[in-house]
Structure 1
Amino acid sequence: MSEELSFTEAEEQDLYEHFRLVVDKGQSLLRIDKFLMHKIENASRNRIQNAIEAGSVLVNEKPIKSSYKVKPMDLISVVLAHPPRDTEVYPENIPLDIMYEDDDVLIVNKPAGMVVHPGYNNYSGTLVNALVYHFQQLPQLPGNDGRPGLVHRIDKDTSGLLLIGKNERSMAYLAKQFFDHTITRRYIALAWGDLVEDGTISGYIGRSMRDRKIMDVYDDESKGKWSVTHYKVLERFGYVTLIECQLETGRTHQIRAHMQHIGHPLFNDATYGGDKILKGTVFSKYRQFIDNCFEVMPRQSLHALSLGFVHPSTKEYIYFESQLPADFQGVLEKWRNYIKANQSE
């Protein structure tokens, strides 16, 4: 398995592999679902047909039907999930905070500290272990073994909404929306520094040359994948700023890397340097206040607030929003009180 695919703490990492297949010159006419069954490992005809129905299979850059017959030199693009893991996922009776559920989709409010799926040294206690226990028949698309139902993920220490597909058709339909960046996702974040106005951050995100566990933003497209984050200022505390981030793309650690790139790492984000005092005074009273804040919220200040998507069955756009967790609310309250007390002195 490549290093990239084994990186579990990914900020909404793309979980869909983009296959590009050029049909041989000597290929006879053959239905595309049959053709792909022989080209994609472990792909059943039913799974291929679900991907085609979801618009995830393109021929010469146009969606087609299962009855389409491939022709010599056709360019076929297939959007599916990442290659399988070797680890078996064991069910565990872990409580889930379910925001919404129907026959097709499930929306879970993930707490901070919970890993989304097994990997590295986290082979138990993950969201997937809980999902396998509570929903025995969750689907796995081709190459998605070990990640039943997952169409995206968020970091271990990021809280908030996660979308699960409950059947193969739903997974394929949702995966296509993530691949096309048509899912609406908003995050709430607390960043170091005084951000005065709204803005947009863009660049190519790739692994850092200094530390492969973190991501950097580059100007060179050969070094990463294109990424865009829009942020809006919600509340200013002088030393830190509460912002709302809307993702156009969903790259590994996107918000965290983007904010660090512009000199405003997330509050208490140890990976990106936000666990130090970056703005403010040198007085011991202030240092004690920051230490208290870090104790209240011992993680990066990032929450996946909302999700909006087109439902796989009804084809209607639906939208969900979650509340800020107690630790995030607690830190904001401390900052409000601190600024208020300083203004009155």
Structure 2
Amino acid sequence: MKAAPALPDETIAVTVAEGEAGARLDKYLTDALAGKPEGGKFEGGKPEGNAAPHETPSRARIRQLIEEGHVALEGAGGAKPVAEPARRVKAGERWRVTLPAPSPAKPQGQAIPLEIVYEDQDLIVVMKPAGLVVHPAPGNPDMTLVNALVAHCGETLSGIGGERRPGIVHRLDKETSGLMVVAKSDRAHKGLSAQFAAHGRDGKLARAYTALTWGVPAKKRGTIDANIARSSHNRVKMATVKARVGEDGDDITGGRIAITHYAVKAEYADGLVARVECRLETGRTHQIRVHMTAIGHPLLGDPTYGTGMKSRKAKLSVDAQIALERLGRQALHAHHLGFEHPVTGEKMSFDAELPADMRALVEALEG
């Protein structure tokens, strides 16, 4: 079934009044969009333009909108996105908030091939192929992994995550392939969510990724500890940022703690390319891609962070160049997933070979 046409995005404009200056951006916008006074002294900042949003965003949602580039400060040169939730607003500033239109409330089942690795009454482990979005969103209202799961599982998927994300407890980028676990029962959803929130610190969850990087890291094994925030220059990109503390002790960069452990497993083409295993201690958007780029080793094929590599690509063999072109995505695959079964307590462990496109590239590099 084809999804209903997407609704238009909604834009709200607010102007900071004298009595509101100094408030955190996320707190100010939360109160302004709700029509509530800031600190009991609401003196302006009434929403302008479009009608008030159908549903007042929570502060957490406002923070997410800021980090995703949906909040912009108007100026002489036009509206410029600001990705710092803790920034202090100033009197007279005019802010624009774009509220993305919601996806259809309930995803419909669609006949999309689904590779099932394991399934029981509480959960299902699947192999997500590259090119498949995990759940419906404004830019991808249907033909997602969730639509495939709804077709396979019917009404048995857990609803705790909301109607648009039934059973989803973690995600992979659209062009990242690999293992995912999805909750079918509410009990499984709660248990798995807790494990993913702990990121393995409780010894229950283990995730490992295979990445092909440009160049070989000087340290064959190491830890990348660098905060990640939405790029202030490109809303599509994330970037590492240095923590910057404001007067009240808040981190005003908008960055979040991000830690990646890596180990070089193989080297190809006289050190032009490395096969690296990455394990996450946190789960930030594009984390592996951003962190490997930050240490000078972006992923092969990455259209967002791996550009400017023409000179290196030219040094590869013809077969490797062809295989890289055919890959057409970042060379990243979630090859290992381990967790404690949230209902039975059994230790579950799954491993997956590289998909055909990455395997072909490795074979060409080895040749």
TM-score of the aligned structures, taking structure 2 as reference length: 0.65
1:323 aligns with 2:364: no
Is this contact kept in 1: 2:320–2:361, CA < 8 A?
Answer: no
Counterpart code for 1:233 = V
Residue among 187, 206, 211 paired with 1:189: 211
User: Alpha carbons of 1:205 and 1:2: their partners in 2 closer, same or farther (altered >3 Å)?
Assistant: farther
CA RMSD across the alignment:
2.3
Identical columns (%): 43
Aligned to 2:191: 173
Whether the aligned pair in 1 keeps the contact of 2:187 and 2:343 (CA below 8 Å) is no
Q: Give the 3-state SS of the residue equivalent to 1:107 in structure 2.
A: strand
Distance 1:275 1:102, change over 3 A: farther
Matched-pair contact (CA < 8 Å) for 1:277–1:290: no
Secondary structure in 2 matching 1:200 = strand
- C-alpha displacement of 1:277: 2.7
Corresponding residue number in structure 2 for 1:216: 239
2:309 is aligned with 1:279 = no
Partner of 1:252: 285
Is residue 138 from structure 1 mapped to residue 156 from structure 2 by the alignment? yes
Whether the 8 Å contact between 1:205 and 1:226 is mirrored in structure 2 is yes
The Cα offsets for residues 184-219 of structure 1, whole Å up to 9 and x where unpaired, read as 100000000122411111111110011111111112
CA distance in 1, matches of 2:216, 2:319: 18
Q: CA deviation at 1:313?
A: 1.4
Q: How many residues align?
A: 255
**Match among 196, 221, 238 for residue 198 of structure 1:** 221
Post-superposition offset of 1:95: 1.7
Letter in 2 for 1:309: F
Structure 2 gap ranges (5+): 1-8, 12-57, 59-101, 244-250
- Contact 1:190–1:301 (CA<8 Å) still a contact in 2? yes
Instruction: Indicate conservation of the 8 Å contact 2:267/2:274, yes or no.
Output: yes
Report 1:1-345 matches (<5 A): 86-142=104-160, 144-182=162-200, 183-196=205-218, 197-220=220-243, 221-222=251-252, 223-237=254-268, 238-274=271-307, 276-277=309-310, 279=312, 286=316, 288-289=318-319, 291-337=321-367
The one-letter amino acid of 1:244's match is E
Unaligned runs of 5+ in 1: 4-40, 42-83, 338-345
Instruction: Please list the CA deviations of residues 163-200 of structure 1 after superposition, one character each: whole Å capped at 9, or x if unmatched.
Output: 10011110011001111112210000000012241111
Between the two structures, name the one with larger relative contact order (CA 8 Å, sep ≥ 6): 1
**Distance of 1:275 and 1:110 partners within structure 2:** 29
Residues in 2 aligned to 1:175 and 1:85: alpha-carbon distance in whole angstroms: 23
TM-score by length of 1: 0.69
What amino acid maps onto 1:108 in structure 2?
A: V
Q: CA offset at residue 120 of structure 1?
A: 3.0
